[in-house]
Structure 1
Amino acid sequence: MTDLNSIHAYDYQLPEELIASVPADRRDASRLLVVDRATQSISHREFVDLPKLLDPGDLLVLNNTRVVPARIAGVRTSTGGKWEGLFLRETAEGHWRLIGQTRGHLKPGETLTLSPLNPSESGELVLQLVSKCDGGEWIAAPQSDESTIDLLSRFGTIPLPHYMQREAEETDYERYQTLYAEIPGAVAAPTAGLHFTQEVMESLTKLGVSKAHVTLHVGLGTFRPVKVDQLSEHEMHAEWCEIGAETIGRIEQTKAAQKRVVAIGTTSVRTLESAAKEQELQPFVGETNLFIRPPYEFQVVDALLTNFHLPKSTLLVLVSTFAGRELIQRAYEEAIRERYRFFSYGDAMLIL
């Protein structure tokens, strides 16, 4: 019998050529694997078919976080040695929480110097390292009066996932954001939403499918590898999220009408379920470290649109918990056999 608490139950072999390193020509040109939990069936559609698969009165819940240019690079001021890092979030004191790598060991009090990405711009940014935290993270104080968003726009680039094995290009500044991205703070895109075009949105509205928003600033917690065998021993890093009273009201109306709450992406799932942890759905603002794994019982989500996730990842565990490990295993085998594109810029899966 399969041990659903073991991370090895969520492994699979993916041919490297199926990893999508660039986006499709059109956002909605993606394929859509439809997984029906009631019938245990799997079918193949296109993303533009999404309106045909939903019902009037269903509610889409979208994560409106916006990816910031979080990848930064510079030199150690004292030695000139190269340093590369990733901005994670801003603290209440206006400091930056970040991770980075360089030769040798950094020390508190040391400074890093960043140069503008645009060679025509003048000025540098100095980051003073304040303290080291768990997990190799640092707290750094930017020596500038400019806002964090303005500084990152001058000194940072879009942080594409490592498996794309390339630097961000001009097109990524548009395509690695959802159409409805609004609130800056994520270091990775909520990728299920990348498929939506204005045309698909309008078709859904005409059908009578409504939309509501939550915010979860995607951070490293979502992507950190599971380094323990037993899922019960894995500690999720916290990510900031918010769900407001208006969205709560729409969910309650949808449930009362016996229609479906359709989460767009695993980040929307985690936000919705974090707001319902006390068995009652309430507005929620703060950090969540919710790790959805067997035998979790979902309180809010009725259907899920998601991309294909990395082997042995917490996201694959979440999806498998929602649909059942055996059904998701079959779905992934089918997707590989049919040459679907995987991960952030890849194709999508709708679980009904």
Structure 2
Amino acid sequence: MKRSQLFYELPKERIAHSPLNPRGSSKLLIINRKSRNLLDKHFYDLPSFVTSDDVLVLNNTKVFPARLFGIDANKKPVELLLLNPTGKKSEWIAIGKNIPQVNKNIYIENVKARIISKAGRTATLLFDCSNEVFKQLLSQYGHTPIPPYIHSDSSERSLREKYQTTYAKRTGSVAAPTAGLHFTDNLLSKLIEKGVQIEEITLHVGMGTFLPIQSENLKEHKMHNERFTLSKITAQNLNNAKQNGKRIISVGTTTTRVLEACSKNGVLTSQSGETDIFIYPPYKFDFVDALITNFHLPGSTLLALVSALASSPNTNDVFFDFETSLMGKAYSHAIENNYRFYSFGDACFIE
């Protein structure tokens, strides 16, 4: 498959730069893969499209204020985006601007960080402070990282609320699992009242989620690694649900990647580690039956994933290119009907 098969034209005015208020009032496009029908609804209508035979799987990762600004020894400004800890005490991998050479220091407020290694814009830093002081540093001086295509004038305090799911628990993401941004506590309560089973996994979203596919031939694209956890109890609950014929609805592409990476012959294995699974047509889904997700960038790995779910061998539609596919039809409909796109935009339910 070629990268050029995953493109569409999006008017700039369709990019959402802030979420709708109140949360959960976004549009929801119901995409029926069997009938190929499209239905315009709102996200708060979701309970009407699920039953007690459904399981909703959420990604409970939590975005942290990973952008830091400091200076080097010559007082030259330095910008960092923390990606993930190395596993060693006080060590972090980061990308940034004006990062000094190895063994040089960066100063962020009253905290010093030494450059342990460096390759291009990526570096490993050792922060000279306790874990408690580091948490305070992020809390007081860290900035919420938002996607490069979003231009927001929201305050940091506002962003920390807007760019976080209501059920976020486990800190580690530099980007929100955006399908989850539409859910409110009230909506989740209504789903539970209907008998919908709710389960949670964790995948810490990295900056790689924003990277376009690098190679024209998708087989040559190097997928980014992301850390995840699928607990024993969650795997057991989901396996039982699957065996009982329940529909597994994945909330977001991040959740989907975990479930598919951990599944073989329709059975999940509890795991914790990293995944670089890259899903694109004609991938056959092994565990996920339906997907709630936002509208994604042209030429992205996320667009490849949704295209796979809505095409053969998962449906009767053979994928030739995005524009002629069912998802292409859905995206054209969304553009014509003023849906909002990308991280702060509207959602679709591919069933």
- Asked whether the two chains share a fold, i.e. TM above 0.5, the reply is yes
- 1:138 partner letter: A
- 1:93 partner letter: K
Structure 2 residue corresponding to 1:112, chosen from 101, 106, 109:
106
Equivalent residues, number: 336
Q: Which residue of 2 aligns with 1:327?
A: 326
Cα deviation, 1:81-122, whole Å, max 9, x if unaligned, reads 1111210011111301000012xx73111111112xxxxxxx
- 1:56 partner letter: S
Q: Which residue of 2 aligns with 1:157?
A: 143
Cα deviation, 1:148-201, whole Å, max 9, x if unaligned, reads 433321331111111112365221111111010000000000000000112211
Structure 1 residue corresponding to 2:12, chosen from 10, 16, 41:
16
Cα deviation, 1:42-70, whole Å, max 9, x if unaligned, reads 11111011010112121000000000000
Q: Which residue of 1 aligns with 2:29?
A: 33
Structure 2 residue corresponding to 1:89, chosen from 75, 84, 93:
84
Between 187-196 and 248-257, report the one with greater CA deviation. Answer: 248-257
CA distance in 2 between partners of 1:73 and 1:166 (Å): 18
CA distance in 2 between partners of 1:56 and 1:43 (Å): 22
- 2:71 partner letter: V
CA distance in 2 between partners of 1:240 and 1:265 (Å): 16
Kindly indicate whether residue 46 of structure 2 is the aligned counterpart of residue 50 of structure 1.
Answer: yes
Q: Which residue of 2 aligns with 1:140?
A: 125
Kindly indicate whether residue 323 of structure 2 is the aligned counterpart of residue 347 of structure 1.
Answer: no
Identity, % of aligned pairs? 40
Kindly indicate whether residue 179 of structure 2 is the aligned counterpart of residue 185 of structure 1.
Answer: no
CA separation of 1:108 and 1:167: change in aligned 2, threshold 3 A: farther
Structure 1 residue corresponding to 2:255, chosen from 268, 275, 278:
268
Please give the secondary structure, in 2, of the residue aligned with 1:26: coil
CA distance in 2 between partners of 1:149 and 1:246 (Å): 30
Structure 2, unpaired ranges of 5+: 312-321
CA distance in 2 between partners of 1:43 and 1:231 (Å): 31
CA contact (8 A) 2:206 2:226 kept: yes
Please give the secondary structure, in 2, of the residue aligned with 1:335: helix
Structure 1 residue corresponding to 2:97, chosen from 91, 95, 101:
101
CA contact (8 A) 1:160 1:168 kept: no
- Cα offset for 1:279? 6.3
Cα deviation, 1:240-296, whole Å, max 9, x if unaligned, reads 001111111221222122120000000000011111157642001001111111221
CA distance in 1 between partners of 2:153 and 2:211 (Å): 21
Please give the secondary structure, in 2, of the residue aligned with 1:240: strand
- 2:327 partner letter: I
CA distance in 2 between partners of 1:144 and 1:60 (Å): 40
CA separation of 1:20 and 1:153: change in aligned 2, threshold 3 A: same
CA contact (8 A) 1:70 1:88 kept: yes
The normalised TM-score by structure 2 is: 0.92
CA contact (8 A) 1:65 1:182 kept: yes
Please give the secondary structure, in 2, of the residue aligned with 1:242: strand
Cα deviation, 1:290-338, whole Å, max 9, x if unaligned, reads 1111221111100000001111111111111111340111111111111
- 2:124 partner letter: I
Over aligned residue pairs, what C-alpha RMSD do you find? 1.5
CA distance in 2 between partners of 1:165 and 1:112 (Å): 28
The normalised TM-score by structure 1 is: 0.92
Structure 2 residue corresponding to 1:303, chosen from 282, 287, 290:
290
- 2:130 partner letter: D
CA distance in 2 between partners of 1:54 and 1:84 (Å): 45
CA separation of 1:207 and 1:17: change in aligned 2, threshold 3 A: same
Please give the secondary structure, in 1, of the residue aligned with 2:338: coil
CA contact (8 A) 2:201 2:234 kept: yes
Structure 1, unpaired ranges of 5+: 116-123
Between 190-199 and 79-88, report the one with greater CA deviation. Answer: 79-88
Q: Which residue of 2 aligns with 1:338?
A: 337
